[in-house]
Amino acid sequence: MMKVVILSKALVAGAYQRKLEEIARLGVELTALVPPAWREPRVGLLRLERRYTKGYRLESLPIAMNGQHHLHSYPTLGRVLRRLRPEVLHIDEESFNFATFEAMRLGVALGARCCFYNYANIERAYPPPFNLFERYNFHHAAHALACNQEAAAIMRRHGYDGPLTIVPQFGVDPELFSPMQNDGRPTTDDNAGFPSSFIPHPSSFIIGYLGRLVPEKGLLDLVEALDGLPPHVTLRLVGDGSQRPAIERRIAQLGLGARVTLRPAVGSTEVPAVLRTLDALVLPSRTTPAWKEQFGRILIEAMSCGVPVVGASSGEIPHVVGDAGLIFPEGDVAALRATVAQLADDPALRAELARRGRERVLAEYTQAAIARRHVAVYAAMLASA
């Protein structure tokens, strides 16, 4: 039984912990090291949820410089790793972060095989000391993981020549994120029939977004697109972030207050219930000089719930959606409006996309599928020692 330690601030979210249960089921002695909370910039403090904790150990570590993606650290990590003595240390951080450098040095000193995980899909020349962190981590890692194709290509251009696997950081739980049955209850039947199990709202068409309310998510485009759509099309925005006041102002300016609902962010395990209130999920992300969509996890969560998805052409979105949703050119409000109108007017198309989305998730994006791919990487790391 291989001994694996995962260091991850992302695992403060309870829904993500299901992947750990699936990894443990595959014969791994697993410990997850997680901070008691993570302060996400422009969102707020995300406290550790303990939702799926069977079969492995979930330990909380003190964190320094909380909220600083590139500079945070774990003051007691060395002592904990010396106690655990992992064979594999999975550092769920980017190659140029201090936390990755810190953990890599400690893991290598203990003889562990180490890997890191990169999301970054914008080409940058990192200044000192971050370029030095990256150089050290590239040299000492037994494997690299990337969330998307562009992140993998950037690592190669920056000089990483070791083993590399493109794999989502987390999948979805298809039982938690499940479609609605005809009787209004969630279904866990993977063979649930579409379109019979997909029930459009009879008197309205609700489009929605869940996530950070920040400029790069293109939410003002979504509000603009609503203006000009028929009155029965309404919008539900769920989340928190710096752009909320600007969104509220634009809603008021366009006279859309009766057709838009803004709600605060919900816990990770509450997301499926919110998704099942929607007729379509829209992710209208916009690429900026400093950011482009790295994955778009809410897309696979909606697809798993049998909710049709509409995404912008930003970053990884088209690769995640495949043929299971509709894509429009990012920043093109008229195209977004036309895409939503097409979906609202075509129940058969909605049913077909709902079916394709669920099938795509079951084939590629479940927590169990992602766990198997991670464990295969761990085994390869040990085999190449």
Domain boundaries, the chain: 2-171+367-383, 205-364
Pairwise CA distance, residues 73 & 91, whole Å: 12
From the list 244, 265, 246, the residue with the least C-alpha distance to 254 is 246
**Any residues with CB less than 8 A from the CB of 250 and at least 6 apart, and which?**
220, 223, 224
- Fold adopted by 205-364: Rossmann fold (3.40.50)
- Each residue's pLDDT, cut to its tens digit, for the chain (385 residues) gives 999 999 999 999 998 999 999 999 999 999 999 999 999 886 789 999 999 999 999 999 999 999 999 999 999 999 999 999 999 999 999 999 999 999 999 999 999 999 999 999 999 999 999 999 999 999 999 999 999 999 999 999 999 999 999 999 999 989 989 997 644 555 544 433 333 333 444 578 999 999 999 999 999 999 999 999 999 999 999 999 999 999 999 999 999 999 999 999 998 889 999 999 999 999 999 999 989 999 999 999 999 999 999 999 999 999 999 999 999 999 999 999 999 999 999 999 999 999 999 999 999 999 999 999 999 999 999 999 8
Token pair listed for 128:
């000192």
Three-state secondary-structure class, residue 297:
helix
Cross-strand partners of 206: 234
**Any residues with CB less than 8 A from the CB of 247 and at least 6 apart, and which?**
213, 219, 220, 223, 237, 262
Q: Do domains 2-171+367-383 and 205-364 have the same CATH topology?
A: yes
Give alpha helix (H) positions in 110-243: 130-140, 149-157, 219-226
Domain 2-171+367-383: CATH class, spelled out: alpha beta
Please check whether residue 199 is in contact with residue 307, taking contact to mean a CB–CB distance below 8 angstroms: no
Cα 235–236–240 angle (5° rounding)? 130
Pairwise CA distance, residues 292 & 285, whole Å: 8
Please check whether residue 17 is in contact with residue 362, taking contact to mean a CB–CB distance below 8 angstroms: no
